[in-house]
Structure 1
Amino acid sequence: MTMIEQPFIWQARVYWEDTDAGGVVYHARYVAFMERARSEWMRALGWGQEAMRRGGGQVFVVRAMSLDFHKPAHLDDLLQVSVSLTQCRRASLLMAQQVHRDGQLLATAQVRLAAVGAEDFRPQPINAGMLAVFESLQVQTELPRNKG
């Protein structure tokens, strides 16, 4: 098993294409930053998404997501996007994600991933080897709540 630090942190630079005319990150781009962080989390564990897909085994799809925006990110910011596995069920994972800039919280999300067959996209139990790794990585974390 590959050991990774918890929470897993992936860095993203904000480019012009991520922003509106005022240089503020467009809200949908946070979803992309978080998706990339989850993909890199899986890669760090030894499971690249393309290899999983081509292998005909299993992939994970987003089933549900809730986001809270706390402060805006801007053009050229260097963001730290975290991934923590907070719940592991037989066929799904619940991830807590945060986006920070220089220690300042910008956005939070809870993301439910479902395990599906790579060829038919039908729900299925998580592979036993993966499940054991995921169970060892679960952390208890509370996402910060908006005060408004």
Structure 2
Amino acid sequence: MVYHASYLRFLERARTEWLRARGLDQVRVREEHGVVFVVRDLAVEFLRPARLDDEVDACVTPVQQRAASLEFAQALERIGDGALLVRARVRAACVEADGFRPAPIPRALAQRLADG
């Protein structure tokens, strides 16, 4: 059986890849815009267990974009039978890369996120 904290890594990787698919590599965002995204809050429902060697598909759906945060709905499904394993809501806050103080999402970045 997969340890419950491992699901958080799967969710994080999925959000990172979702951003990367939109040309928003997190290292580049930090270098070009001086901001990073950090998890502000997270709600997870563990519905069914994944087992060793199960293949899992991670879904990321943007729900809301605010001035300084992004909210996502995420799901992990087992490939093969399509069983919903985990459902999550994640809010990521935009913060200054150096001081970790809240910061507005830079306009160019916000537009790119909105365009999907």
Counterpart contact for 2:75–2:86, Cα < 8 Å: yes
| Mapped partners of 2:71, 2:19: distance in 1 | 14
Checking the alignment, whether the CA contact within 8 Å between 1:81 and 1:100 is kept in structure 2 is yes
The count of residues paired between Structure 1 and Structure 2 equals 114
Residues 1:128 and 2:107 aligned together? yes
Q: 2:109 matched to 1:107? A: no
What displacement does 1:51 show? 2.2
Is 1:60 the equivalent of 2:42? no
1:120 & 1:55 partners in 2: Cα distance? Answer: 16
Instruction: Give 3-state SS (helix, strand or coil) of 2:76's partner.
Output: strand
Counterpart selection for 1:39 from 10, 16, 20: 16
Q: Which has the higher helix share?
A: 2
Q: TM-score by structure 2 length?
A: 0.92
Provide TM-score, normalisation by structure 1.
0.73
Larger Rg: 1
Q: CA RMSD in A?
A: 1.3
**Percentage of pairs with the same residue:** 46
Q: Is the 8 A contact 1:56 1:119 kept in 2?
A: no
Alpha-carbon separation, structure 2, partners of 1:52 and 1:93: 15
Structure 1 segments unaligned to the other structure (5+ residues): 1-23, 138-148
Whether 2:72 is the aligned partner of 1:95: answer: yes
- Which runs of 4 or more aligned residues in structure 1 lie more than 6 Å from their structure 2 counterparts after TM superposition? none
**Partners of 1:54 and 1:32 in 2: CA distance:** 24
The alpha-carbon deviation at position 104 of structure 1 amounts to 1.0
**2 CA distance for matches of 1:50 and 1:74?**
33
